[in-house]
């Protein structure tokens, strides 16, 4: 199994000072895993917050994602070097292909090979994929070899449980990273989750995150609020029982929030 930390802080939609403050607060609270991406436009801010924290680079786990414009063999490695400059680091711990982008004009084999090259050059410790379905994950494994893909970062929440894909990934020894675990906040209003939260004297956000963690998924929730960053972290200690998990299983409704045309695959 790949070694992906189970709990990190996401930076999607955070820019400028908000990104710096969120990462600074997260590091201060004990987070050591940070997820960013080229398209987020905040790698420099993440790099600044990390540099100013004084935490040794070796104690951190930083992920970035290659954007579709940089998938070509001649573009991927230079774009990652650019990301590293912004992040003020010699390497990232994990680099992902952000979307399969079937209509992008760059073949999967080409960008996966370029990603493997980035790893061979020492620019990234591990490589992975994001938003890939079962078939495309199979093709990605074929391109870079069994055991090379550390994770598939996918949208997962109590409303989108993606059971076929997660079962396939786990059978392949590919870690599942869940993003949008709170479904843009939609699950926070859920009465079933609210009942479970009350039973455990927890928040609904903690319940949703604990649900993902208990299935062995990594989570990367983001927040601009220090108190929410601290609260989310406490999901690690929340243990849901069999009854709780069975109740959450009934919430599946294929509630996908993110499905950009031209970037997303045909979902399983």
- Residues serving a catalytic function are 40
Residue 31 has, within 13 A of its CA and on its CB side, a CA count of: 31
User: CB–CB of 33/5 below 8 Å?
Assistant: yes
Q: For residues 230 and 225, what is the distance between their CA atoms, to the nearest angstrom?
A: 9
Find, among 97, 98, 68, 66, the residue nearest to 82 by Cα.
66
- 48 contacts: CB under 8 Å, gap ≥ 6: 20, 88
Q: For residues 263 and 112, what is the distance between their CA atoms, to the nearest angstrom?
A: 16
Integer angstrom CA distances of residue 235 from 118, 232, 255:
34, 6, 22
């Amino acid at each position: 199994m790949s070694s992906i930390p189970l709990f990190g802080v996401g930076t999607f939609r955070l820019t400028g000072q908000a990104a710096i403050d969120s990462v600074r607060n997260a590091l201060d609270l004990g987070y050591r895993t940070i997820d960013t991406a080229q398209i987020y436009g905040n790698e420099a801010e993440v790099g600044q917050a990390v540099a100013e924290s004084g935490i040794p680079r070796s104690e951190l786990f930083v992920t970035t994602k290659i954007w579709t414009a940089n998938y070509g063999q001649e573009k991927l490695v230079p774009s990652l070097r650019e990301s590293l400059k912004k992040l003020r680091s010699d390497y990232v711990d994990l680099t992902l292909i952000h979307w399969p982008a079937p209509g992008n004009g760059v073949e999967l084999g080409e960008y996966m090979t370029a990603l493997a090259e980035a790893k061979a050059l020492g620019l990234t410790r591990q490589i992975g994929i994001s938003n890939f379905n079962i078939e495309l994950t199979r093709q990605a494994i074929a391109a870079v070899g069994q055991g090379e893909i550390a994770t598939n970062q996918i949208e997962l929440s109590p409303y989108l449980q993606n059971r076929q894909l997660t079962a396939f990934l786990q059978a392949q020894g590919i870690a599942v990273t869940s993003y949008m675990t709170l479904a843009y906040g939609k699950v926070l209003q859920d009465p079933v989750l609210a009942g479970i939260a009350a039973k455990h004297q927890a928040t609904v956000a903690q319940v949703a995150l604990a649900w993902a963690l208990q299935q062995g998924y990594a989570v990367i929730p983001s927040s601009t609020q220090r108190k929410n960053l601290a609260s989310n972290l406490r999901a690690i200690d929340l243990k849901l029982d069999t009854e709780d998990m069975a109740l959450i299983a009934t919430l599946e409704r294929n509630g996908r929030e993110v499905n950009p045309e031209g970037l997303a695959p045909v979902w399983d």
